[in-house]
Amino acid sequence: PAEPRRAGPPCRSRARSRGAVGAALLPSMLMFGVILASSGLLLMIERGILAQVGPPPLHPPAGLSRRDGPDSTAELELEVLRDTRNRTIRALCGQRSMPRGVWELPPGQRRTVLQHLLVSDKYRFLYCYVPKVACSNWKRILKVLDGALESVDVKGKMDHKSDLVFLGDMKPEEISYRLKHYYKFIFVRNPMERLLSAYRNKFGEIKEYQQKYGVEIIRRYRKNGGNSAGDDVSFSEFLQYLLDEDAERMNEHWMPIYNLCQPCAVRYDFIGSYERLHADANHVLERIQAPSFVRFPERQAWYKPVTAETLHYYLCNTPRRLIKELLPKYILDFSLFAYPLPNITSEFCRQ
């Protein structure tokens, strides 16, 4: 698939049908930008209006001609999705108050994004890693490309620090050069699905997180929870904790993607999706001209994916007020990357 364009008007040589799709969807694409710019966001959420707002449809309007066949349909849907993301990012990031580069960011925000941008000087790319969006496998690939790891299939726990080069460890002139000249990409995921994945992994399996965060969460939000080992945090308690936390000081596993990777300050050349992980990863590997033996790793046998049914179960068993109050903290992730807001209506949850 062609790389998404970040700036400039659409190419005039595109087929008229594609132009028609863009024109038809433009009002919906910009809807989030209008909402974000208004002071009525919280009121709209409170009244349930935003619960019905989702990204533009991924299918073209009725009557629009296109090539027959499932492959051509999937390609058109993908093009519309990427165009949606690019237009929304341009609309939001084009506002005067938004940063035009990393040096316009406050020190704390700049430090965060620079420490999440991994560097490959050999293949001239920057990858902003997002925890719970297959970042461990991408780190394996970087280590293989730089010769620090023999294969992506090597067993063992991933070391998330050694044999990796972080943009934040470089001098300002080196940072600026790479931001300007290197290929930059990021992978994103449905925000609520990512939060559920982090919750199940960190509080269900990792004792370090149970002791560091779980004990504190239970102490804050549960009466007589002083004897808890932190391994029985409920999803509602976790969301309440996120609601009370400053987004810029959150742990990276649940910090909003916008805060981690600053898509307005860093002009990413490609935004991949967790939902199309292997196809988008192969596109990136081809674009950076990685050796043919380097491939994106298969999912580990022990990994338990978050299914749509699992996500719906958790959301529908969580107080609706809590989810509505939390949405503004992650609204940029929903809007910029064209993810639908969670459906938590009573009718849907009854089904």
Per-residue pLDDT, averaged over 245-269, amounts to: 96
**Residue 301 — very low, low, confident or very high, per pLDDT cuts 50/70/90?**
low
Q: Which of 10-14, 70-74, 144-148 has the lowest mean pLDDT?
A: 10-14
CA distance 50 to 301: 38
pLDDT, tens digit, for every residue of 43-88?
A: 444 444 344 444 443 333 334 333 445 567 878 888 888 888 888 8
The chain-wide mean pLDDT, for the chain, equals: 82
Q: Which two tokens stand for residue 52?
A: 């019905």
pLDDT in the model for residue 304: 78
CA distance 61 to 102: 39
Domain ranges across the chain: 76-350
CB 204 within 8 A of CB 229: no
Q: Which one is predicted more confidently, 283 or 45?
A: 283
Q: Give the count of beta carbons closer than 10 Å to the beta carbon of residue 326.
A: 20
pLDDT in the model for residue 58: 38
CB 131 within 8 A of CB 252: yes
Q: Does pLDDT of 39 surpass 50?
A: no
Q: Which two tokens stand for residue 144?
A: 């293989």
Q: Does pLDDT of 116 surpass 50?
A: yes
pLDDT, tens digit, for every residue of 329-340?
A: 999 999 999 999
- Closest C-alpha among 289, 306, 250 to residue 116: 250
Per-residue pLDDT, averaged over 157-161, amounts to: 69
Q: What burial class does residue 351 get, using C-beta atoms within 10 Å of its C-beta: 0-12 exposed, 13-18 middle, 19+ buried?
A: exposed
Q: pTM higher than 0.75 for the full model?
A: yes
Residue at 121: amino acid letter: D
Share of the chain above pLDDT 70, in %: 77
Q: Which one is predicted more confidently, 270 or 17?
A: 270
CA distance 280 to 78: 11
SS3 percent helix, strand, coil of the chain, rounded to 5, is 50, 5, 45
Q: Which residue has the tokens 């005039």?
A: 12
Q: Which two tokens stand for residue 252?
A: 């990276």
Residue at 166: amino acid letter: F
Q: Does pLDDT of 271 surpass 90?
A: yes
Residue at 210: amino acid letter: Q
Per-residue pLDDT, averaged over 277-282, amounts to: 93
CA distance 209 to 309: 26
CB 18 within 8 A of CB 67: no
Q: Give the count of beta carbons closer than 10 Å to the beta carbon of residue 341.
A: 22
Q: Does pLDDT of 26 surpass 80?
A: no
pLDDT, tens digit, for every residue of 206-250?
A: 999 999 999 999 999 998 877 888 899 999 999 999 999 999 999
